[in-house]
Amino acid sequence: MLSIKNLRAGIEGKEIIKGFNLEVKAGEVHAIMGPNGSGKSTLSNILAGREDYLVSSGEVSFNGKDLLDMSPEDRAREGLFLAFQYPIEIPGVSNINFLKTAINEIRAYKGLGPMEAKDFLKLIKEKQALVELQGSLAGRSVNEGFSGGEKKRNEIFQMAVLEPTLAILDETDSGLDIDALRIVANGVNKLRSADRSFIVITHYQRLLDYIVPDFVHVLYDGVIVKSGTKELALELEEKGYDWIKKEVVEA
């Protein structure tokens, strides 16, 4: 599904990702944890194709295609979805209109005609229930005047509608109270399937109580310094990141 090899990248001449490797197979959930400034958000921005970031070397293959060679919109159309840490507001554009445009763009890329209005509305209804999103939210402008929790739920709702093969959740748990966290996690769990993979980027183990990962990686100073299963997350929660930093320095 996704294969990242020796990735080096940064922004404004500063290298942040320093030889990053990751293999994600279909259906797997990988959690990437790490202290502030370790490069977590940079990684998600690079994968999504944000122009400000520059890749100096390495390879990223996504479903057999060269991801780095694709425009951000083509990456999305190929099935890569980023749930933003800070979802953007677009005043005056309804969620529904936004999603309809997105769906039809993705369909056009695949050589399909626009979705029938009837089918679209059915899809919206069904997916709204998944994240317990009120009907009125779908009609409101994209993220405008949404609370922090509503914004994050809206990201998961969009993900549910667009049905990506790889979803990257960039600190989706930040700013969520425990109820919202549960709703978001439930939404994600319902979307887990044998052919859909997730990269869950987070600071805290808390989210992983709900979205149980297959693998946990610790990112520190632009590289993965430790990988394990969900128990690693518990260990991090208990001991903090200092012992990892120490290990790295000693090595």
Partner 1 sequence: MAEQNDILEEHISSEYKYGFSSDIETETAPPGLSEDIVRFISAKKNEPEWMLEYRLKAYRHWKTMEEPRYWAHLQYPEINFQNIIYYAAPKQKPELKDLSEVDPELLATFEKLGISLEEQKRLTGVQSNIAIDAVIDSVSVKTTFKEVLAEKGIVFCSFSEAVQEHPELIKKYMGSVVPYTDNFYAALNAAVFSDGSFCYIPKGVRCPMELSTYFRINTSGTGQFERTLIVADEHSYVSYLEGCTAPMRDENQLHAAVVEIVSHKNAEVKYSTVQNWYPGDKNGKGGIYNFVTKRGICLEENSKISWTQVETGSSITWKYPSVILKGDNSVGEFYSVAVTNNYQQADTGTKMTHIGKNTRSTIISKGISAGHSNNSYRGLVRINKGAKNARNFSQCDSLLMGPLCGAHTFPYIEIKDKSAVVEHEATTSKIGEDQIFYCKQRGIDTEKAIRLIVNGYCKEVFNQLPMEFAVEAQKLLAVSLEGSVG
Footprint of partner 1 (CB under 8 A): 48-51, 71-73, 75-77, 81-82, 84, 87-94, 96-102, 105-106, 109, 114, 117, 141, 158, 162
Q: How far apart are CA 173 and CA 208, in angstroms?
A: 10
Least distance to partner 1 from the beta carbon of 162, Å? 7
Identity of the residue, 10 or 79, whose beta carbon is nearer to partner 1 in the bound complex: 79
Least distance to partner 1 from the beta carbon of 23, Å? 23
Least distance to partner 1 from the beta carbon of 42, Å? 15
Least distance to partner 1 from the beta carbon of 104, Å? 8
Least distance to partner 1 from the beta carbon of 91, Å? 6
Identity of the residue, 116 or 242, whose beta carbon is nearer to partner 1 in the bound complex: 116
Identity of the residue, 11 or 234, whose beta carbon is nearer to partner 1 in the bound complex: 11
Dmax of the chain from CA atoms?
A: 61
Q: Which amino acid is at 22?
A: L
Identity of the residue, 110 or 249, whose beta carbon is nearer to partner 1 in the bound complex: 110
Identity of the residue, 57 or 112, whose beta carbon is nearer to partner 1 in the bound complex: 112
Q: Which amino acid is at 112?
A: L
